[in-house]
Amino acid sequence: MKFYFVAGERSGDLHGSNLIFSLRKLNPNLKCRGFGGDAMEQAGMALTVHYRQLAFMGFAEVLANLKTIYDKLKQCKRDILTFNPDAVVLIDYAGFNLRIARFARAKGFRVFWYISPKVWAWNQSRATKLKAVVDKMFVILPFEKDFFKKFHWDVDYVGNPVLDAVKAHRTDPDFLRNYNRSSSNVIALLPGSRKQEVSRLVPVLAEVAIKFPDYQFITARVDNLDEVLYSPLRQLPNVKLLTGSTYDLLAYAKAAVVTSGTATLETCLFRVPQVVVYKTSPVSYQIGKRLIRVPFISLVNLIAGREVVKELIQTHANAEEIILELSRILQDTIYRNQIIEGYQQVINLLDTGSASEQTARLMLNYLKK
């Protein structure tokens, strides 16, 4: 049996790798190939294109890189035809993967989609387009199943793979010793995994760190980005850079400043009070502002259905407002406890078993049918 995977960013690589591990447990002879990252390759997938070649964020950035995207689309289509898989497994990454889904379905391949595009957030009519080209959709947020029912589509809710990853993590007991610090004064900075978001937020985060000289800020950087992007932070005496141990950092942090995305949910699952920030290009923001159909941008608030953590977006993602919110998190015990109680509500909603194992079992069963 052969599966072709397409993941276009870091989180997709992580969840894709866990899915491959689960699939290969059930079918050790499974052959995997596709677009992804280091984690999927380590799980046993033959990697053809690394996601770092596709990680463009925002409308303006995508437009500026259209040639690269179209070239990779052509390459992906050719590779699928050559590999001739039993199923094409698409992981999030909506714009690119919807085109691959159309192509694969037209060529007669079974199409599985793991981690639904956020069609509930904007342009909800895309749900109909997805239904037309996807054989089975596997969703990871509780409210998504009810959303797709409005389009007469019964999708599978499989639990959340982020919770699986956090549960599986084994914290390094010597982590803090490497920084000569205690857990009471560590603040995590998670500025994102894409060049555009990191370049916009790092200078702001440097202004924030200066105002908290008694705290040790540890910044989670990604190894596929040039370290020069983190220079404003690296120059500060109370800031250190960290690569590859974000979960260890969250396990010990007292508070966090987090770029909107999967990291907000990861921070929630480690029960670290956080302030969520997001900043994109002015053009992308203005377009998004007119299209977004949900009241929040962080997964924590979306799953809870209310504001559990503060979101500072675009012009509000400035040093002054971040400092005010971070100070409240650090100093107001009642406020901290309210955030953590909200986190528990989110955890209770997500904790339904292993998402990757459930998805793997369903995929193989659907193929047998």
Same domain assignment for residues 204 and 325: yes
Model confidence band, residue 64 (pLDDT cutoffs 50, 70, 90): low
Tell me the percentage of the chain whose pLDDT exceeds 70.
Answer: 91
For residue range 36-61, what is the model confidence (pLDDT) as tens digits?
Answer: 999 999 999 999 999 988 765 555 55
Average pLDDT over residues 178-189: 79
Residue 328: give the domain boundaries.
168-350
- CA 247 vs. chain centroid, Å, equals 14
Higher pLDDT, 240 or 280: 240
Amino acid sitting at position 262: T
Please give the C-alpha separations between residue 326 and each of 31, 199, 208, 286, in angstroms, as whole numbers.
47, 21, 9, 27
Number of Cβ within 10 Å of residue 152's Cβ equals: 8
Same domain assignment for residues 209 and 338: yes
Cα–Cα dist 298/264, whole Å: 6
Cα–Cα dist 186/202, whole Å: 18
Model confidence band, residue 369 (pLDDT cutoffs 50, 70, 90): confident
Cα–Cα dist 28/62, whole Å: 38
Q: Would the pLDDT of 232 be above 60?
A: yes
Is residue 155 packed enough to be buried (19+ CB in 10 Å), middle (13-18) or exposed (0-12)?
buried
The residue whose two tokens read 């387009």 is 129
Q: Residue 322: which residues within 8 A CB-CB, separation 6 or more?
A: 204, 205, 208, 257, 275, 277, 312
Handedness of CA 67, 73, 74, 75 (dihedral sign): positive
For residue range 122-158, what is the model confidence (pLDDT) as tens digits?
Answer: 677 789 999 999 999 999 998 899 999 999 999 999 9
Give the least confident one: 146-160, 224-238, 326-340.
224-238
Pick from 329, 341, 330, 294: which is nearest to 313 by CA?
294
Helix locations, the chain, DSSP H: 10-26, 38-42, 59-64, 66-83, 94-106, 126-133, 142-149, 161-168, 195-210, 231-234, 246-252, 262-269, 282-291, 299-304, 319-331, 333-350, 355-368
Same domain assignment for residues 177 and 79: no
Number of Cβ within 10 Å of residue 236's Cβ equals: 15
Cα–Cα dist 214/210, whole Å: 10
H helix or E strand, kind and range, residue 260: none
Amino acid sitting at position 306: R
Model confidence band, residue 289 (pLDDT cutoffs 50, 70, 90): low
CATH of the domain at 330: 3.40.50.2000
Average pLDDT over residues 79-103: 95
Same domain assignment for residues 202 and 219: yes
Same domain assignment for residues 177 and 304: yes
Q: Residue 215: which residues within 8 A CB-CB, separation 6 or more?
A: 185, 186, 187, 209, 238, 330
Cα–Cα dist 306/345, whole Å: 11
pLDDT at residue 323, rounded to an integer: 98
Same domain assignment for residues 120 and 37: yes
Same domain assignment for residues 121 and 198: no
Same domain assignment for residues 358 and 323: no
Q: Residue 103: which residues within 8 A CB-CB, separation 6 or more?
A: 77, 80
- CA 172 vs. chain centroid, Å, equals 23
- pTM of the complete model: 0.79
pLDDT at residue 67, rounded to an integer: 76
- Domain count for the chain, please give it: 2
Contact in structure between 324 and 332 (CB atoms under 8 Å): no
CA angle 36–40–46, rounded 5-degree value:
80
Q: Would the pLDDT of 66 be above 90?
A: no
Task: Indicate the SS3 state at residue 217.
Answer: strand
Same domain assignment for residues 174 and 299: yes
Same domain assignment for residues 133 and 182: no
Same domain assignment for residues 142 and 47: yes
Same domain assignment for residues 333 and 358: no
Model confidence band, residue 272 (pLDDT cutoffs 50, 70, 90): very high
Q: Would the pLDDT of 214 be above 60?
A: yes
Q: Would the pLDDT of 118 be above 90?
A: no
CA angle 145–147–152, rounded 5-degree value:
85
